[in-house]
Amino acid sequence: MLDLTFENPKPKVIAGALHDWELVIGMEIHAQVSSNAKLFSGASTGFGAEPNSHVAFVDCAMPGMLPVINEFCIEQAVRTGLGLKAAINLRSAFDRKNYFYPDLPQGYQISQLYHPIVGEGEVLVEMGPGVARLVRIERIHLEQDAGKSIHDMDPNSSFVDFNRTGVALMEIVSRPDIRGPEEAAAYVTKLRQILRYLGTCDGNMQNGNLRADVNVSVCRPGQYERYQATQDFSHLGTRCEIKNMNSMRFIQAAIDYEARRQIAILEDGGSVAQETRLYDPDRNETRSMRSKEEAHDYRYFPDPDLLPLEIEQAWVDGIAATMPELPDAKKARFMGDFGLTDYDANVLTAELDAAGFFEEVAKGRDGKQAANWVINELFGRLNKEGLAIEASPISAAQLGGILDLMAKGEISGKMAKDLFEIVWTEGGDPAEVAAARGMKQVTDTGAIEAAVDEIIAANPAQVEKAKANPKLAGWFVGQVIKATGGKAAPATVNELVNRKLGL
């Protein structure tokens, strides 16, 4: 069982000129569904293609074209809902959200305002060992993405590409349960991790496959607790929505700027206007998106081209039966089965591929040692080379082989690091490589003893010093290992040196 006892993190407090303020944040995450084809057409979702080459006539809204839903996108939304422990609505429906913009050829976005496919769920956001925020999910709905406008190719025109138009998005809406910029980033990180484990969104923020709208308001200490007790929003301040951010750093900077802007207005005796704002990373400020203001009248209505979406409980159960182990469960298992620390378990479960690699190395071996080697040696080396775990030149079996040689006492830790380096660059079976290169530590006490005697006899002055200060015995250990060409087992040398020096 998962240990779900945790303490809530403290909310971020900003000191104003008059008194303290707290932050209240809710987020809408737009996650692109991992699928081959679009939500309502058979065109590809592939990124980086020739402009307007992944466009079906439905996507560019040619007259008479009708949308037909992609069944896999429904499955992905359900899987995501199950991963967030959410209620799945067996009956949902599509609505039209009407507005005009050049990247929206239909003149409306097909979305799910009134009856979303996924209802209330939750995400546990850890902020440190034993400290976590349980962020409530309000809903997840399926909707179409818009196209892409490019403004810098021509001085008088904007260029529009509909390749992204109609690609399926999941909009994941949280309750205002997030209390600071760091928590907001941690929430996005956790959600991204879960989506990647589920395989429902690749989480690539750079390509815009995961984007965040952030609702920020500020309130006096105590007000938020009143809201939580009553769920009455009037206890909270007026919120502003910062649109479309695709970097953790920008999300945090935008929240911080926006909170301070609102505090300055309120302390000046003014009131915050509810509006949509845009974050400008170059100037580190948020600006009102005036063009969006009147467009806010979206005149939603049920899409007459699409029947309600009805799914069967048995189908949902079938998806539930194929759910992978999720990050929280995996982390708890790694800590329980392999004796890992909270920190190591976090690092090793951050990415599914890395977790799988570690597990293969750790299986039947010392878990803590496997964790140290995967985190320090392997990850360190991969980072240095800018490689992902899938591209690791050293396999889990090879790394396991190195650890086995060390566990059997055939090679020392120092030799293991050298062997890792050789296998990394040249490949090969670790045991064979070690044998071919004569990498074998001497554990034969007789041979080591002779070397120890020799060094002690040659250095009487050092012997006196070491007897006075036992810490200096290390010098002898080093000399003996050097004298044996690095092959003497350090543990054996250490023991012999101490005995011979009478320490």
Partner 1 sequence: MSIDTETARKVAHLARIRVEEADLPALAGELSNILTFMEQLNEVDVSEVEPMTSVTPMRLKRRADVVTDGDMQDKVLSNAPDAREGFFAVPKVVE
Range 30-69, binding partner 1 (CB under 8 A): 35-37, 41-44, 50-57, 60, 68-69
Give me the least distance between CB of 265 and partner 1, in Å please.
23
Range 205-224, binding partner 1 (CB under 8 A): none
Verify binding: residue 157, partner 1, rule CB under 8 A. Answer: yes
Give me the least distance between CB of 121 and partner 1, in Å please.
24
Give me the least distance between CB of 234 and partner 1, in Å please.
28
Mark the segment that binds partner 1 (CB under 8 A) among 70-78, 213-221, 460-468, 492-500. Answer: 70-78
Give me the least distance between CB of 162 and partner 1, in Å please.
7
Site string for partner 1, 236-275 (x = CB under 8 A): ----------------------------------------
* Sequence-ordered list of residues with C-beta below 8 angstroms from that of 486, at least 6 positions apart, any chain: 412, 414, 415
Range 354-413, binding partner 1 (CB under 8 A): none
Alpha carbon dihedral 52, 55, 61, 62, in 10-degree steps, equals: 90
Comparing CA positions, the residue from 142, 150, 157 lying closest to residue 52 is: 150
Mark the segment that binds partner 1 (CB under 8 A) among 153-161, 214-222, 424-432, 456-464. Answer: 153-161
Comparing CA positions, the residue from 371, 367, 356, 360 lying closest to residue 324 is: 356
Mark the segment that binds partner 1 (CB under 8 A) among 302-310, 409-417, 427-435, 462-470. Answer: 302-310
Which three-class secondary structure string do you get for 9-33? CCCCEEECCCCEEEEEEEEEEEEEC
> At which residue do the structure tokens 């400290």 appear?
131
Find the radius of gyration of the CA atoms of the chain. Answer: 30
- One residue of 90, 289, 319, 431 binding partner 1 per CB under 8 A: 289
- Structure-block tokens of residue 69: 């839903």
Beta bridge partners of 131: 7, 128
Q: Residues 285, 257: contact at Cβ < 8 Å? A: yes
Give me the least distance between CB of 35 and partner 1, in Å please.
5
CA–CA dist 198, 143 (Å, integer):
19
Mark the segment that binds partner 1 (CB under 8 A) among 95-103, 129-137, 365-373, 402-410. Answer: 95-103
Give me the least distance between CB of 295 and partner 1, in Å please.
8
Verify binding: residue 158, partner 1, rule CB under 8 A. Answer: yes
Verify binding: residue 70, partner 1, rule CB under 8 A. Answer: yes
C-alpha triplet 353, 172, 50: angle, nearest 5°:
70
Alpha carbon dihedral 152, 156, 162, 167, in 10-degree steps, equals: 60
Chain-centre distance for alpha carbon 412:
36
Taking the least distance from each CB to partner 1, the nearer of 61 and 431 is 61
Verify binding: residue 73, partner 1, rule CB under 8 A. Answer: yes
Range 456-485, binding partner 1 (CB under 8 A): none
Give me the least distance between CB of 250 and partner 1, in Å please.
16
Taking the least distance from each CB to partner 1, the nearer of 306 and 329 is 306
Mark the segment that binds partner 1 (CB under 8 A) among 96-104, 320-328, 355-363, 397-405. Answer: 96-104
State the first-to-last Cα distance of the chain, in angstroms, to the nearest integer: 48
Taking the least distance from each CB to partner 1, the nearer of 53 and 376 is 53
- One residue of 162, 358, 373, 424 binding partner 1 per CB under 8 A: 162
Verify binding: residue 301, partner 1, rule CB under 8 A. Answer: no
Verify binding: residue 154, partner 1, rule CB under 8 A. Answer: yes
Taking the least distance from each CB to partner 1, the nearer of 278 and 431 is 278
Handedness of CA 95, 100, 105, 107 (dihedral sign): positive
Q: Residues 30, 210: contact at Cβ < 8 Å? A: yes
Alpha carbon separation from 461 to 207, 217, 273, 455, 498 (Å, rounded): 67, 72, 81, 11, 16
CA–CA dist 49, 164 (Å, integer):
10
Residues that bind partner 1 (CB under 8 A): 35-37, 41-44, 50-57, 60, 68-74, 93, 98, 100-102, 149-151, 153-162, 278, 289, 291, 294, 297, 299, 302, 306-310
